[in-house]
Structure 1
Amino acid sequence: MSETALEARHLYKVFGKNPNQAVKRLKAGETRDDVKDAGTAAVIDASFTVNRGEIFVIMGLSGSGKSTLIRMLNGLHDITDGEVIIGDDDIATASPARLREIRRERVSMVFQHFALLPHRTVAANVAYPLELRGVGKAERLQKAEEILALVGLGGWGDKLPGELSGGMQQRVGIARALAADTDILLMDEAFSALDPLIRREMQEQLVDLQAKLQKTIVFITHDLNEAMFLGDRIAVMRDGRIVQIGTPEDILTDPANDYVEQFVQDVDRARVLTAANVMERPRPVISETAGPRTALRQMRDAYMSATYVVGRDRTLLGIVTDRDAVKLVRKGSNDLRTVLKPAPQSVNEDSVLMDLFVPAVESVLPLAVTDAEGRLVGVIPRITLLAALGPGTTATEELTLPLQPMPQAIINEVLGEPADTVGTPVVGGGAAFFDASTGSATQKGEVL
């Protein structure tokens, strides 16, 4: 089965008296304003693919053309020029009868203002697509109840839409689209009419539903935070054109132009960026088979007072501190496993930054980042976590830490090396030095 669920190829939509002439002039290089005498260009040369099972978000301000574009994907708006390919069908050339079949079997839609039938019960609204297909009443109502339970409305099937809150009515709209059991779900500003708290709840429920059902979703929004939260990929529109397509991280960290950069400047980065986006190469790290001298050398060179310990497959096993390693050397033992301590904190590489603050504060080392198999793939120093959120403390600023680690001269003595040193490593610190005269640690460097 093809990985592409839907493909848009050079789409144009012009409203007005001479749309074909307007398209010709646009292709020749004229602007949207230039062709106003021939018509209003709502969508200009839009091309993209939507992969099976992804949430593809089309985002833009009012007048950008996003709502017109989504209606072109199922034929609700005629296509002035270009192609929309779904399976073996081109929406632009499909007959009216075939378009109706595609809407029943391949593409369903959730509207901003619910569009429920007020005189029908909730269950009957959900079952309506099945009724159009000729499914028997008992079967379609049973299916409706199953889907209502899936969206958190079990037991509400016999109510009328007017008896439900706005958020509940939108859930009915989603349930109705799911009842159609189509491959592709189009959602046009589906949550924008809801109160902020309900809207957030609906966004989270959509993500949960998508994890279970793996539908292909094209979602329209003007809300950047919503786009960043929901989208596997995002297309940013301006004045009818798509100006950038990319993952939320791409859009946030590598905007294509000044417009996109300005658009994303106020985004809540803590809900978008993940541990994998900001993590650094893990260090110091040693194998469980290494000896205490190797551990001490790694800690000294990295200016830290502990090191992560991993297995042969890089599975995170725990940490060893400088004090414990020194004790082993003096006892003549080489087995680090006897002094291995649990890692103070670790997070998955897919965790968003907003979930990392408490673990980072509780960890005496830069926060360990692991993959799904528990392998250590990176670390996040606290200063890096703060810097990733935008303006504020940077990694080159000086910080004072009330720490009392082992003097580095002792470590050098144990290693049989010269005792002179510029400082003492700080737990969790990089390029950080203990000042015996003040009893504090002053740090300048890349990690905290």
Structure 2
Amino acid sequence: MTQKSYNILLVDDDEVVLQALEVHLADLPHTVISTHSPAKAIGVLGCGDIAVLICDLNMPGIDGNTVLAEARKRNPDIVSIILTGGADQAVMIDAINRGGIWKFIMKPWKRDDLVTSVIEAVERYARLCEPRAQLKEIAEKLSELSQKEEQLQHTTGRQPKRIKKKKAIRLRVVEKEDRPDLQSDRYELQEVLGEGQAGIVYKAQDTLLNMPVAIKVLSPSLSRKEFWEQSLKDEARIAMQLSHRHIVRLHNLQRSGDRMFLVMEHVEGHSFREVIVEYGAFPIDGLPPIAQVFGDAISYAHRHGVIHGDLKPENILLTGDGVLKIIDFGIASLTNAKHSTGLIAGTPAYMSPEQKRGELLDTRTDIYSLGIIIYELLTSRNPFPEDMSTDEVLNSMPGPLVGLPHPVTVVLEKAIAADRDDRWRSAGEFTDALVAVVSSLSHGGINP
């Protein structure tokens, strides 16, 4: 079997370093592109699919951090290696805070160490691309379906049920007289993307940066409480530091008169709710790469001290190019139950028992929610019956998990255990176990 060839981009203003890198990587079955110009490197990133970026940090004119940021914008899956001979401490800190760096290699390097790192980087890129390719196919099919339905609506004048349901709240144009006064000329509110007990989310235009953003205007009951405001500020500082390819970024928390609002990255895409509705039960053998994305993103946030608190299919987006994005990470947690004893916030069918009781939350509440989501993705049904009322859901545990191979059921049951001490210790441990049993089933290693 012929090994696939990937593109590797080398960027260093020192020609001697570039030549040494080229010689050391010459035997690999990949295309190596090198340049001493950061500006040319950005041009290459815009023209080709680069799998691995090896980049110096300290370069004249455009520094390495700018190249790294452009690389992630062009290809969220790119694996970046920083080559440094002892960069300025401030530059290093900036690079770490921006995220997206897989490994640092110090100059001078050992040839074998460099080659091993590049081989591992290519393998990592290939793994990251697996779910993206699969999800991109799903996203394309959903887009085709939407186009067909909109054509049908245009031809017949009738709105298909799916579009009607989807647009009941989403993409509702905001009339000028209905727009909340943010006391700022910077943001122009355009459409309502969603509504909930914590506030209303709008698509908006950032007129200063000329780019779309999402703005969540918090409800007056949250904005006017001094205790909540301080909690919001404290957690926003943490949430704003999250920088992950599969997490929608929080840009800012601002006050406008007696209202507070959050400015977030805007992402166009389909929710996992749409995926479940349109595709029904997701094939179990296609789960591992998606589970790995979930585990990676959620574990990353948890390591940074951020709990989601409202994971559900509606908060997971699939972009047109197949990138999975979790929205409201670090935002739902700003307004969840852990800030006030006895207050319940979340979506009942995905809430952990401790969240329903209004108790202090920890990372295991997200593991519970993820277990429910994955079960629903694989079976196209929630373990709580559709005809069950909100009060009934809040006062009961989910029904039996049926319709899946026993080893998979065992892993999911541990994720949604009533006692959080009985659940998986981390999101990564949960998704690793899930990937292991599904892979064993696929290879005939476990009797279902």
What is the TM-score when the length of structure 1 is the normalising length?
Answer: 0.24
- Relative to its length, the structure with more strand (as a share) is 1
Normalised to the residue count of structure 2, the TM-score between the two structures is 0.24
